[in-house]
A and B are shown apart, each in its own frame.
Chain A
Amino acid sequence: MPLDTSTTYPLTKLRLDGRRWNELRLIQAQISTNAASSGSSYLTMGNTSVMCSVHGPAAGRRGEATGSAGSAGAIVDVDVNLAGFAAVDRRRRGGGSDKKSSRMEVLLRSAFQSHLYTHLYPHSTISIHVSILSADGSVLAAAINACTLALVDAGIPMPGLLTACTSGMSGSALTPKDPRSDELDPLLDMALPEEQELPFMTIATTTKLPVGEDQMDEEQETGISFMSMDAKVHSTYLETMMAVGIDGCGQIRELFEGVIKSSSRA
């Protein structure tokens, strides 16, 4: 019997690594791990582990800062390094960066360029260096989370924590959803075998900082600020996946708030 989620999940309602549909993997996070940078973090989500360091805001390099974009606010510069030993098989690379990591660089840059209060630092550069030490699914989400923690450590102002996670469906989900026999479940926080087999999306949410009259409200407003999906899914499933993803991001945010508070106390 092939051991994959789409055959075993309907029978057991348990995923390959024994989780239920709405369970996150074990998340461990540390901040201020590297003294040589303005801010740094180390994050593991299951067997995915990511290290991130932030330098800056520092004076922009010549040529870039003179451009119109540089004068308006800080430029976020992201550098992703997928370690050769990160994946199951050792990756052979021929110089420079590869397609996968440069795509992640673009996604991370777009996510944080708009998220941070860059207008406070005109003519400067915030450079983020992400090292993926071990890739076991949800790499992009883990990178976003690690960046958020490192940026918090560096003290760069942002409206709220940007946290990300992945959500997928427990089957191919190419046909419209049947409301009578709903046999596909949404899955939270995909591991590598699930990612390779099932459609999934990366979703990142942030909280809006309560200002003025809203300050009284205990309930913080959450908004999606980043979404990325490479797979095909029928549009009727999209809502479920998003709902599960948003919920997961909320769980991660609570966890991170604890991490940040406990590290500032120490």
Chain B
Amino acid sequence: MSSQRQASSAAQVPHLSPAELSYLYTSLALPQNPIRPDGRSPTQFRPLSAESNILPGTNGSARIGFADGTQAIVGVKAEVERTVLISDTLDVDQDAETVEGAEESASAATGGHGSWVQMSIEIPGFRDDDALPVFLAEMLRESLVGSVGGNEDNGERHMAGGLKGRLVINKRWHWRLYIDVLLLSQPLSYPLPLLSLTTHLALLSTKLPKLKSTGEEDPFFDDDWAAAEYLYPRSSTINSNPSQQVRPPVTLLVISVGENVIFDPSREEIAVADAVLAISFTRNSDSDTGTDEPLKLLLTQRGIANSETENGNGPDSAAAAEEETPGVWRPRRGGIKRSVLAEMMKTALKKGGVGEEVLAGLEGVEVA
């Protein structure tokens, strides 16, 4: 029973005929101004409604709903945990021949560890150990823990070591962050951007209790929730530059069709895309205020797991060998052009580009 249900919901590819797919491809590949089925411009997102801090029992939470009815809710819970130091759980980019365990442990105790952030995604119709939820969770988690944060300057507290560093309480204790993502409806379109935006919003609203103990004491917290501090510190002064603040990363889905770069693709658009890319980026807090690179790229990867793509025909399938007939669509083969890839990055990351717009929009969601 459950496998049947899964098969129906996992079918990301809509039932379109080769002629329809060809039509779609041609209109999306029109040079300069592609025509999208829903009339959006290439960089326009679907309308969405968002709210944060909706659940009283969590450290931070958010809900985002697209107009088509897909909704996601994210709850973030934090727990205090004793830091256990086993040498192979540490970041081993330190000297391998470090003899003293103490030195190694110090690096992990101050730098944090990626496994302190746990992410789980629940999608109706999928078990939580199915390929899609695991793939999405790992993709989101990786960019989250991979984002190394800003430096300490201007006297204002920055997040050294990024999220991992923020989770360190002292050498013996740390926070463990559980991020639970709940997709409330069957995925009508590929859910990655929705989940990423919701996670971002939930993390922005996440608060941790204020620490009262100091140094290496066992942690002891302020009872007053009103005194709690944001996980990602907000600017206390108005004139401080927002681009200086460390922010959780956002992962966007970008496709290329012909020479065109299209953001926030719908399911039909993904079906005919030449390349589907997930771009994770965050505010570039390392740089000085004057640089023209306000965002930094964290990672790009194939947006979709192998099993989910290719419209039923893998690149190796027999259909690919046939003659190309005009008016009949067949899956594209081969990789992505360098110039297109560069264009994708540029549109996403440039000053005043899509990425900045998204971050600014999410920042604007009232954290009540």
Within 8 A of B (CB), among A1-45: 34-37
| 11 A-B pairs whose Cβ atoms sit less than 8 Å apart in the complex | A49-B55, A61-B4, A62-B4, A63-B1, A85-B75, A85-B77, A86-B57, A88-B57, A90-B180, A131-B182, A133-B182
| Chain A 52-87 interface 0/1 with B at a Cβ cutoff of 8 Å (1 = within) | 010000000111100000000000000101011111
Known contacts A36-B69, A84-B75, A84-B178, A131 near B184 by CB under 8 Å: yes
Minimum C-beta distance from B181 to chain A (A): 9
Taking a contact as CB atoms under 8 Å apart, the answer to whether A85 and B69 are in contact is no
Interface on chain A toward B: helix, strand, loop, or mixed SS? loop
Instruction: Say yes or no: is B122 at the interface (Cβ < 8 Å to chain A).
Output: yes
**Which residues of the partner chain A approach B122 to less than 8 Å between Cβ atoms?**
81, 83-84
Q: How far is the CA of A133 from the CA of B54 in the complex (A)?
A: 10
9-residue interface stretch from B60-68, B148-156, B329-337: B60-68
Residues of B contacting A87 in the complex (Cβ-Cβ under 8 angstroms):
57
Q: Mark B287-325, 1 if CB is under 8 A from A, else 0.
A: 000000000000000000000000000000000000000
Report yes or no: B185 in contact with A34, Cβ–Cβ below 8 A: yes
Residues of A within 8 A of B75 (CB): 83-86, 133
Chain A residues near B57 (CB, 8 Å)?
47, 85-88, 134-136
Note all chain A residues with C-beta closer than 8 A to B129: 95
A16 to B347, CA, bound (A): 56
Instruction: A93 to B54: give the CA distance in the assembly, Å.
Output: 23
Q: Could you list which residues of chain A lie within 8 angstroms of chain B, going by C-beta atoms? A: 34-37, 47, 49, 51, 53, 61-64, 79, 81, 83-90, 93, 95-96, 129, 131, 133-136
Inter-chain CA distance A87–B61, complex, in Å, is: 14
Q: Given known contacts A85-B61, A90-B79, is B55 in contact with A36 (CB within 8 Å)?
A: no
A53 touches B55 (CB 8 A): no
Q: How far is the CA of A135 from the CA of B55 in the complex (A)?
A: 10
State the CA gap A16–B122 with chains docked (Å).
Answer: 35
B234 within 8 A of A: no
**How long is the Cα–Cα vector from A90 to B70 in the complex, in angstroms?**
25
By a CB distance below 8 angstroms, the chain A residues around B1 are 61, 63-64
Instruction: Add 7 more A-B contacts to A84-B122, A85-B76 (CB < 8 A).
Output: A34-B71, A34-B185, A47-B57, A51-B184, A61-B1, A85-B57, A95-B127
B182 CB to nearest A CB, Å: 5
B58 at the interface (CB under 8 A from A): yes
Q: Which residues of B sit under 8 angstroms from A95, Cβ to Cβ?
A: 127-129
- Whether A34 and B77, one on each chain, are in contact in the complex, defined by CB atoms closer than 8 angstroms, is no
Please report which residues of chain B, range 177-235, place their CB below 8 angstroms from some CB of chain A when the two chains form the complex.
178, 180, 182, 184-186, 188
Is A36 a contact partner of B186 (Cβ separation < 8 A)?
A: yes
Closest chain A residue, CB of each to CB of B128: A95
* Dominant SS among interface residues on chain B: loop
Which chain A residue has the least Cβ–Cβ distance from B186? A36
Residues of A within 8 A of B55 (CB): 49, 85, 133-134
Interface status of B22 (Cβ within 8 A of chain A): no
Q: List the A side residues contacting B178 at CB < 8 Å.
A: 84-85, 90
**By CB atoms of chain A within 10 A, which of B57, B122, B124, B182 has the most?**
B57
Residue contact A37 to B69, C-beta cutoff 8 Å: yes
The answer on a CB contact under 8 Å between A47 and B73 is: no
Interface contact B182-A36, CB-CB below 8 Å: no
> Which residues 259-287 in B have Cβ within 8 Å of A in the complex?
none
Measured between alpha carbons, how far is A35 from B65 in the docked complex, in Å? 9
Tell me whether B107 is interfacial, beta carbon within 8 Å.
Answer: no
- Distance, CA A136 to CA B232, complexed state (A): 28
Evaluate contact between B185 and A53: CB separation under 8 angstroms: yes
Query: From residue 73 to 94 of chain B, which have CB atoms closer than 8 A to chain A?
Result: 73, 75-77, 79
**Among the listed A63, A83, A89, A129, which residue makes an inter-chain contact with B180, where contact means beta carbons less than 8 Å apart?**
A83
A93 to B180 Cα, complex, angstroms:
12
Q: Does B39 contact A (CB under 8 A)?
A: no
A53 to chain B, nearest CB (A): 7
How far in angstroms is the closest Cβ of chain B from A85?
A: 3
List B contacts of A64 (CB < 8 A). Answer: 1
Tell me if B56 counts as interface (CB < 8 A to partner A): yes
Kindly list chain A residues whose C-beta atoms are within 8 Å of the C-beta of B58. 85, 134
Residues of B within 8 A of A61 (CB): 1, 4-5
Interchain nearest-CB distance for B187 vs A (Å) = 10
B43 close to A (CB within 8 Å) = no
Residues of A within 8 Å of B71, CB to CB, are: 34, 36
Q: How far is the CA of A13 from the CA of B71 in the complex (A)?
A: 43
- Contact in complex: A34, B69 (CB < 8 Å): yes
Q: Given A61-B4, A96-B127: A47 and B185 within 8 A (CB)?
A: no
Per-position binary interface string of chain B over residues 81-123, scored 1 when its CB falls under 8 Å from any chain A CB and 0 otherwise: 0000000000000000000000000000000000000001010
Minimal Cβ-Cβ distance residue in B for A97 = B127
